[in-house]
């Protein structure tokens, strides 16, 4: 597999010259290979603007209709979202879905069907702005009522009318966006199975199940988009006015949300209660075809972050997480637990019963993480009385480290915005020569004794 990838990289020159615009690009990282093309990071050598460059075989480019579909997409930092994202919170999903809907609405207003909308074709720049890419299967509707007949798309996102060869139009993109929204909230596509035949069978029967842990409006919007009859699906304009989309939506998101769920404890409760329920890991499933109880919307100050502890490649990009490390630590585990101070001035204690308290750098806000990983948000002056002893210990650890220990790396502190979730100690172990610490964002640190 690695040999094939090397061949792909070597087949494209390091410097790419566009004779039409007299522009020179420098080839960068190899992102991946699809059915029609290869994708690289390319940089304009004159302006230093970075793009996701789609490199297509000249044999395919000989077909005029393919040539028109393969312009590179401008993006500062292309990210294959299907690899980066796990299950997201509802505010994050709303943030991305609004952008996707607006983008697809623009395409439809210009009579273009994308026909291959999926997480792998969505890109994010450094500000987490969504860019829709890969128009290799896109088609233009030339007249009202035209139905395309081509069998195309990606198995987990393909609409039933394409499989049934009944002809298709704009509605296939609505179906695909329903699959995208489901995947963002649940963490896997709605019709995914171990076999292509079974996946297609479920799509044709519209056989999928929805977690009971997402809000009623989110379920309703997904079910509207995943209607088996194309004419029953709403348009992009209608979806942009749906109750779910009109709920609380952050103006922007921190880049750290690619690895850790953002914080929403700093929100003020307004007259219109925002739908910001966060997802639990254990999901009870219900059928979309059966009646179910609605879920009340409200501000949640107790939650479980939607990112599972899986420290793999998605943790490797330094830009995807705040630059935070343990700058001080004290081992008092013979009585209470392990205390530490982070480089951003936050302080935490991992108690012997595996519960955790984290005081944010402002010295006011505190996160409590119980044995099951559920978080509660409070302040140093306003917290449940059952946490009284642990809050006093947190204060003691903080004071001791401030007065007796020297901070390391103090000159390289990176400011974190109010929505970034401060990492906390996930696990630690100590030997005679040092301490090994792992934060819940995947950072591993060794401190010699």
pLDDT (tens digit per residue) in 157-195: 999 999 999 899 999 999 999 999 999 999 899 999 999
Evaluate whether 285 touches 209 at the Cβ level (below 8 Å).
yes
Contact 365, 422 (CB under 8 A): no
pLDDT tens digits for range 333-390: 999 999 999 988 899 999 999 999 999 888 888 989 999 888 888 889 999 999 999 9
Q: Within 10 Å of residue 319's Cβ, how many Cβ atoms?
A: 11
Cα 158 to Cα 206: distance, rounded to the nearest angstrom: 12
Q: Quick check: helix, strand or coil at residue 351?
A: strand
What's the whole-number mean pLDDT along residues 71-95?
Answer: 60
Claim to verify: residue 55 and residue 141 sit in the same structural domain: no
Do 289 and 421 belong together in one domain? no
Residue 290 and residue 153 share a domain: yes
Considering the domain boundaries, does residue 393 fall inside one? Answer: yes
Q: Are 60 and 43 in contact (CB under 8 A)?
A: no
Whole-structure pTM value: 0.66
Q: Which position has the higher pLDDT, 120 or 78?
A: 120
**The CATH number of the domain where 195 resides is what?**
1.10.510.10
- State how far the alpha carbon of 328 is from the alpha carbons of 223, 345, 347, 425, 445, in Å: 50, 10, 9, 12, 12
Asked if the structure places residue 317 within a domain, the reply is no
235 belongs to a structural domain: yes
| Residue 71: CB atoms within 10 Å | 12
- Average pLDDT (399-412) is 76
Which string of b and e fits 339-370 if b means at least 16 CB within 10 Å? Answer: bbbbbbbbbbbbbeeebbbbbbbeeebbbbbe
- CA angle centred on 355, ends 354 and 360, rounded to 5°: 130
Residues 150 and 265 in one domain: yes
Residues 400 and 282 occupy one common structural domain: no
Catalytic residue numbers read 116
In 3D, which of 130, 150, 128, 129 has the Cα closest to residue 139?
Answer: 150
pLDDT at 285 over 70: no
Residue indicated by tokens 């088996």:
228
For position 9, which CATH number holds? 3.30.200.20
**Is 434's pLDDT higher than 70?**
yes
Residue 442's alpha-carbon distances to 315, 339, 425, in angstroms, are 6, 19, 10
Is there a single domain that holds both residue 196 and residue 92?
yes
The residues near 118 (Cβ < 8 Å, ≥ 6 apart) are 82, 154, 156, 157, 176, 179, 180
Residue range 297-325: mean pLDDT, rounded: 45
> The domain spanning residue 362 has which CATH number?
3.30.1120.30
Give the Å distances, CA to CA, from 375 to 137, 321, 325, 426: 44, 20, 21, 14
307 within domain boundaries: no
- Residue 415 burial (CB count, 10 A): 9
**How much is the pLDDT for 105?**
97
Q: Give yes or no: residues 37 and 99 share one domain.
A: no
Candidate from 11-15, 130-134, 319-323 with smallest mean pLDDT: 319-323
Domain count, the chain: 3
Its domain, for residue 326, covers 322-448
Provide Rg for the chain, Cα atoms. 25
Of 74, 97, 123, the position where a domain reaches its end is 74
Tokens of 362: 């402002």
How many whole angstroms separate alpha carbon 280 and alpha carbon 425? 21
Residue 309 lies in a domain: no
Asked if 69 and 176 sit in the same domain, the reply is: no
Report the phi/psi class of residue 164: left, alpha or beta, with left for phi > 0 and alpha for psi in -120 to 50: alpha
Instruction: Give the pLDDT score at 264.
Output: 73
Does residue 316 lie within any of the structural domains?
A: no
The maximal CA–CA distance of the chain, rounded, in angstroms, is 77
Model confidence over 9-55: pLDDT tens digits?
A: 457 888 988 888 889 999 988 877 665 677 888 999 999 998 888 77
Residues 6+ apart with CB under 8 A from 114: 104, 107, 121, 132, 135, 137, 138, 173, 176
- Dist. CA 397–CA 326, nearest whole Å: 14
Whole-number pLDDT of residue 261: 77
Same domain, 96 and 152: yes
For residue 79, pLDDT over 60 is answered with no
Contact status, residue 288 vs residue 223, Cβ threshold 8 Å: yes
In a shared domain, residues 70 and 83? no
Regarding whether 372 and 248 lie in a shared domain, the answer is no
* Three-class secondary structure of residue 23 per DSSP: strand
The predicted model gives 290-313 an average pLDDT of: 38
282 and 346 co-located in one domain: no
Confidence band for 86, pLDDT divided at 50, 70 and 90:
low
First to last CA, the chain: 43
Q: Classify residue 313: in a domain, yes or no.
A: no
The CA distance from 243 to 224, in Å, is 12
Instruction: Work out the percent of the chain whose per-residue pLDDT is above 70.
Output: 74
Burial class of residue 403 (count of CB atoms within 10 Å of its CB; 0-12, 13-18, 19+): exposed
Q: Say if residue 409's pLDDT is above 70.
A: no
Region class of 9: left (phi > 0), else alpha (psi between -120 and 50), else beta: alpha
- The residue out of 233, 267, 302 marking a domain boundary is 302
Least confident window among 61-75, 300-314, 317-331, 412-426: 300-314
Strands 130-132 and 356-359: unpaired
Greater confidence (271 vs 134) lies with 134
* Residue 308 placed within a domain: no
End of a domain among 249, 274, 302?
Answer: 302
- Give the model's pLDDT for residue 406: 81
């Amino acid at each position: 597999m690695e040999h094939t990838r090397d061949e792909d990289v070597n087949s494209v020159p390091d410097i790419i010259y566009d004779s039409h615009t007299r522009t020179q690009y420098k080839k960068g990282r190899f992102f991946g290979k699809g059915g029609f093309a290869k994708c690289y990071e390319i940089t304009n050598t004159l302006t230093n603007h970075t793009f996701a460059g789609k490199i297509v075989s000249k044999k395919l480019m000989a077909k005029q209709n393919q040539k028109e579909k393969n312009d590179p997409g401008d993006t500062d930092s292309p990210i294959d979202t299907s690899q980066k994202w796990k299950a997201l919170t509802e505010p994050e999903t709303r943030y991305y879905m609004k952008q996707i809907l607006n983008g697809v609405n623009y395409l439809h207003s210009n009579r273009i069907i994308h026909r291959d909308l999926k997480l792998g074709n969505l890109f994010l720049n450094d500000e987490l702005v969504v860019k829709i890419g890969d128009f290799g299967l896109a088609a233009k509707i030339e007249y009202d009522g035209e139905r395309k007949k081509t069998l195309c798309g990606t198995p987990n996102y393909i609409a039933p009318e394409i499989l049934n060869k009944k002809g298709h139009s704009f509605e296939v993109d609505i179906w695909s966006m329903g699959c995208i929204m489901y995947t963002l909230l649940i963490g896997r596509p709605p019709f995914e199975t171990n076999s292509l035949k079974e996946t297609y069978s479920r799509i044709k029967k519209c056989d999928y199940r929805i977690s009971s842990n997402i809000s009623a409006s989110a379920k309703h919007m997904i079910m509207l988009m995943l209607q088996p009859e194309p004419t029953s699906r709403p348009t992009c304009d209608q979806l942009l006015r749906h109750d779910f989309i009109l709920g609380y939506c952050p103006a922007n998101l921190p880049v750290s949300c690619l690895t850790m769920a953002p914080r929403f404890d700093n929100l003020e409760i307004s007259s219109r209660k925002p739908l910001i329920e966060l997802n639990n890991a254990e999901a009870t499933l219900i059928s979309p075809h059966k009646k179910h109880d609605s879920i009340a919307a409200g501000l949640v100050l107790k939650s479980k972050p939607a990112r599972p502890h899986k420290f793999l490649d998605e943790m490797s990009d330094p830009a995807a997480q705040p630059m935070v490390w343990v700058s001080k630590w004290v081992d008092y585990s013979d009585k209470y637990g392990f205390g530490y101070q982070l480089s951003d001035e936050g302080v935490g204690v991992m108690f012997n019963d595996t519960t955790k308290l984290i005081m944010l750098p402002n010295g006011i806000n505190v996160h409590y993480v119980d044995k099951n990983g559920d978080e509660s948000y409070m302040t140093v002056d306003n917290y449940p009385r059952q946490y009284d002893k642990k809050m006093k210990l947190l204060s003691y650890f903080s004071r001791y480290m401030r007065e007796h220990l020297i901070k390391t790396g103090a000159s390289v502190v990176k400011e974190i915005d109010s929505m970034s979730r401060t990492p906390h100690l996930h696990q630690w172990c100590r030997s005679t020569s040092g301490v090994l610490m792992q934060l819940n964002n995947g950072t591993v640190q060794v401190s010699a004794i």
